[in-house]
Amino acid sequence: MQPASTANQTEAETAPTDLEGLIGRFREALAPESVITDPQRLRTYECDGLASYRVVPAVVVLPENADQVGEIVAACAEYGIAFVARGSGTGLSAGALPRSDGVLIVTSRMRRILEVDVANERAVVEPGVINLDVTKAAAPHGYYFAPDPSSQQVCSVGGNVAENSGGAHCLKYGFTSNHVLALEVVTPDGDTVELGGRARDVPGYDLMGAFVGSEGTLGVVTKIVVRLLRAPESVQTLLAGFPSTDEAGGAVSKIIAEGITPAAIEMMDALSIEAAEQAVRCGYPEGAGAVLVVELDGPAPEVEHTFAEVQRHCRDHGAFEVRVAADDAERAMIWKGRKSAFAAVGRISPDYIVQDGVIPRTALPEVLTRISALSAESGVRVANVFHAGDGNLHPLVLFDGSEPGAVERAEEVSGSILDVCLAHGGSITGEHGVGADKVKYMGRMFTEQDLDTMQRVRCAFDPDNRCNPGKVFPTPRLCGEAPGQRRGVHPLTEAGLADQF
Amino acid sequence: MQPASTANQTEAETAPTDLEGLIGRFREALAPESVITDPQRLRTYECDGLASYRVVPAVVVLPENADQVGEIVAACAEYGIAFVARGSGTGLSAGALPRSDGVLIVTSRMRRILEVDVANERAVVEPGVINLDVTKAAAPHGYYFAPDPSSQQVCSVGGNVAENSGGAHCLKYGFTSNHVLALEVVTPDGDTVELGGRARDVPGYDLMGAFVGSEGTLGVVTKIVVRLLRAPESVQTLLAGFPSTDEAGGAVSKIIAEGITPAAIEMMDALSIEAAEQAVRCGYPEGAGAVLVVELDGPAPEVEHTFAEVQRHCRDHGAFEVRVAADDAERAMIWKGRKSAFAAVGRISPDYIVQDGVIPRTALPEVLTRISALSAESGVRVANVFHAGDGNLHPLVLFDGSEPGAVERAEEVSGSILDVCLAHGGSITGEHGVGADKVKYMGRMFTEQDLDTMQRVRCAFDPDNRCNPGKVFPTPRLCGEAPGQRRGVHPLTEAGLADQF
């Protein structure tokens, strides 16, 4: 974390001449209301969803179309000034944290759905379009856009592309990268290029895949061709109450081992259930040490058949209550508890950190035991909410910022949880991204050589390090530097691969 | 096409001293039988599956493990000599065509399956492992490896990674890139790095996606972590005979429009049916102008339900015979006709070109009409075999190489078919790759700026253009050259997107 910046107060005095020149260029190219330099208004943009990082940008621009994004980025290149792109600002890793000496490009005025092409099952949208609005546009045709982060009512598709966002249903349907067919992108030098597109398995390099999830470090996306999925014929949802996370975890393992791929399997532990109950009165089973939300979708006969199996596996693994949603209203209530969990924790704790880590599914019981131990040792409460099916944990580390040392203790526990994930062959982030927040952990997950390899691509696109600098990569090498001639270690040793993957 | 090279005959005289030095290094690092310089033995490697391109390499090396690959590539870097990697050599775009002044790295001695990790549904294999052997290793556990190119009994997984290979079942299951979790790769300067891996949605750039399908131009893969899929509970296959491709195409459109995703829908026209019948006596319906092979897989109740619908759609669209495979033997016979189609064409024509193009599924009837017209105008027979579900065409252009001008006429028709694909918003290759063969078409499919963007990545990894040079990219710019400051055209205009994608 870093303290809130006060850079804006001195910006007028310290702004270099070339920034003034750049702002002049923006005023020529954009509508007057699209260039913001007023310190009070700039402050609106000082953070994204991770409010512990705050920096007031030097200038904010709100382009209305792809051409204007091209003009803005080309002007930044000409003036040698850094820029950061931002969608709705709901990210949880400070990926859209501004630079006090740079430009913040906000896509919130680029909200047109340019085309819904049902015959070819795709839509073309601008980056500022709200995630859920894609589904709303496709729904009359019986289609939907699959990535469903909890923030889907407010987050932008451009942000989803930057972060490769997932959601409760990415167990079955994959992340954003599985639902993007093509991108139009402005590269850091102002060129507009097309990545992916046209057909499956396009020849040449799949740079679209590299761009999705690059957290704004390779350019700014200006148009997105998304895949639309046909709405499933049948959806069935259940809520199962278990004595503890051990039993619930056992049920998850059994369901997956049986070859069932639910649309979603979400787990919440006692503390997160308590928080959700207080916040939204979702009526989760009383006294449950853990609940599972399991949703199946697909053709009706398959869902019916498999749903019965899932209920049986839950009961066999100790569920004392299995409640099936009878209709959409009951389904919505079950999901309301889960989807409100992060915010709900605010009811039981003045402050909290939302952690995001991944482990192999098979390591779930061990990791939960370790997190309990960390909590007990430190006296810091941890509520656990997770996408159990794919091992994506969201521990909520609770603290009271007004108590001396509480922030530091919470941060230590939160960091230790990532170490536990890594020790079990997992990842430091499942879907929230690295941003500014987890830069310090990248070196724990990747070898120097792996990071060098990514840096080669970064340098190929952004040799001057002006495109969302300071995010994702720790201490970037200078782009002129040769990658060196040292020979690599072999990270995939022939023994112990299961530990590594 | 280019004539068979005679380079090997003069290689001994013209080989520069540094090549001799490099060979000396190979002999130090590898077993004696792993370094081939004998002209007769080198000739074995002069082409891949596209035998119209032939070049005898200066030296062939057969590494036995990843360390040796690292040594070989590092030595090539030190001596400034180009190299090409080759798996089983079954590729159909001359992607593994050697360089007469370069090294051919053959992975056929790297055939160990290092691990089958059923609990985490993955296996770790060396690049020379035969595609079907992965499934054989996984089958006792109830799993399989999904990518199934027609050459799966002989092609290597490393080659599948290079070409992002598909197969009949990639309609439902996707290409190789959807079934690779991590790669260990030797970069052109001899570094060993890991791409992808560990967990879903790994932080940092998804360079694994860019590497898969890069046709050997970014490095040499030394280990592959593949995803294993659980064998489906139920598989049902039918063969339907139609009066013509129009009716068969109508049935395909209806099936897809109904939201059904078969594991495979393959179409063959009258000429390819005739060839298959002569070759393997597959007993396809007599007098059919087209046949469809439709396979469904999944949970038994879903398959049963949907299979009935598919049969109905076939009959409604004019199928005069719908034959359901009663058992595995009948299923195998249905597939035998389809899978032997390419080779079978040799029965009805002395020579043929296997073309590979993609079109949006909705353009199928129009494109088939256009191909018929091209055939009629030129007098060149074209047999059509395709993965109808995803619009991947494999027209077989028949000719007799002993007739004057026949080769040229066939090549002209073959090239015109790609133009038709591009005019309908398609692609110049669905699964065979660009290799040396389709380099000349890349400029028709991509803008200069799109190619420049790919070239940036190429230069980041291979600035000296030593890693499978001459493949994929037309006339590469020098890597030192700046990408230029010209502003881009916007390939995704707001009108007419359906035409473009």
Q: What is the mean pLDDT of residues A471-478?
A: 78
Q: Are strands A321-324 and A290-298 parallel, antiparallel or unpaired?
A: unpaired
Span B377-424, pLDDT tens digits: 999 999 999 898 888 999 999 999 999 999 999 999 999 999 999 999
Q: Which of A191, A259, A451 has the CB atom closest to B449's CB atom? A: A191
pLDDT in the model for residue A478? 64
pLDDT in the model for residue A11? 38
- pLDDT-derived band at B5 (thresholds 50, 70, 90) equals very low
pLDDT in the model for residue A152? 93
Span A352-390, pLDDT tens digits: 999 999 998 878 889 999 999 999 999 999 999 989 888
Span B164-197, pLDDT tens digits: 998 888 889 989 999 999 999 999 999 999 998 7
For residue B384, which phi and psi values (nearest 5 degrees)? -115, 125
Interchain contact A67–B (C-beta under 8 A): yes
Minimum Cα–Cα distance from B454: chain A residue:
A205
Token pair in block for residue A3: 């303290």
Q: Is the pLDDT of residue A493 over 70?
A: no
Q: For residue A388, which of A168, A237, A174 has the smallest C-alpha distance? A: A168
pLDDT in the model for residue A150? 86
Q: Is the pLDDT of residue A169 over 50?
A: yes
For residue B117, which phi and psi values (nearest 5 degrees)? -110, 85
Q: Which residue has the higher pLDDT, B199 or B144?
A: B144
pLDDT in the model for residue A494? 32
Q: Is the pLDDT of residue B198 over 60?
A: no
pLDDT in the model for residue A201? 67
- pLDDT-derived band at B201 (thresholds 50, 70, 90) equals low
* Averaged pLDDT score across all residues of chain B: 89
pLDDT over 70, % of chain B = 91
Lowest-pLDDT range of A90-104, A194-208, A394-408, B185-199: A194-208
Residue found by looking up tokens 């890349």 in the block: B442
Q: What is the mean pLDDT of residues B333-358?
A: 91
Put simply, the answer to whether A115 touches B485 (Cβ < 8 Å) is no
Judging contacts by C-beta atoms under 8 Å, the chain B residues touching residue A114 are 494, 497
* Averaged pLDDT score across all residues of chain A: 89
For CA atoms A489, A490, A495, A501, give the dihedral sign. positive
Residue B412 burial (CB < 10 Å; 0-12/13-18/19+)? Answer: middle
Q: Is the pLDDT of residue A266 over 70?
A: yes
Interchain contact B365–A (C-beta under 8 A): no
Put simply, the answer to whether A358 touches B199 (Cβ < 8 Å) is yes
Residue found by looking up tokens 């259940």 in the block: A238
pLDDT in the model for residue A497? 33
Span A425-438, pLDDT tens digits: 899 998 899 999 99
Q: Which residue has the higher pLDDT, B211 or B483?
A: B211
Q: What is the mean pLDDT of residues B280-296?
A: 94
- pLDDT-derived band at B496 (thresholds 50, 70, 90) equals very low
Q: Is the pLDDT of residue B4 over 70?
A: no
Please tell me the distance from the alpha carbon of residue A302 to that of residue A309, in angstroms, as a whole number: 11
Q: For residue A55, which of A90, A12, A96 has the smallest C-alpha distance? A: A96
For residue B436, which phi and psi values (nearest 5 degrees)? -85, -25
Judging contacts by C-beta atoms under 8 Å, the chain B residues touching residue A433 are 203
pLDDT in the model for residue B200? 62
Span A272-287, pLDDT tens digits: 999 999 989 999 998 9
Q: Which residue has the higher pLDDT, A260 or A1?
A: A260
Span B10-33, pLDDT tens digits: 333 444 558 999 999 999 999 999
Span B31-86, pLDDT tens digits: 999 999 999 999 999 999 998 899 999 999 999 999 999 999 999 999 999 999 99
Q: What is the mean pLDDT of residues A301-307?
A: 91
Judging contacts by C-beta atoms under 8 Å, the chain B residues touching residue A361 are 120
For residue A355, which phi and psi values (nearest 5 degrees)? -90, 160
Name residues 466-495 of chain A within 8 A of B (Cβ): 472-473, 483, 485-492, 494
Residue found by looking up tokens 């296997």 in the block: B354
ipTM over 0.85: no
- pLDDT-derived band at A14 (thresholds 50, 70, 90) equals very low
Q: What distance in Å separates residue A358's CA from the closest CA in chain B?
A: 7
Half-sphere exposure of A347 (CA within 13 A, CB side): 16
Q: For residue B235, which of B143, B302, B333 has the smallest C-alpha distance? A: B302
User: What are the strands of the beta sheet with A35-36, ordered from one edge?
Assistant: A35-36, A59-61, A103-106, A83-86
SS3 B358: strand
For chain A, which domains are there? 7-106 (3.30.43.10), 113-230 (3.30.465.10), 234-423 (3.40.462.10)
Q: Is the pLDDT of residue A337 over 80?
A: yes
Put simply, the answer to whether B492 touches A124 (Cβ < 8 Å) is yes
Put simply, the answer to whether A225 touches B501 (Cβ < 8 Å) is yes
Q: For residue A162, which of A172, A148, A177 has the smallest C-alpha distance? A: A177
Please tell me the distance from the alpha carbon of residue B163 to that of residue B157, in angstroms, as a whole number: 10
Q: Is the pLDDT of residue B484 over 90?
A: no
pLDDT in the model for residue B199? 62
Q: Which residue has the higher pLDDT, A216 or B480?
A: A216
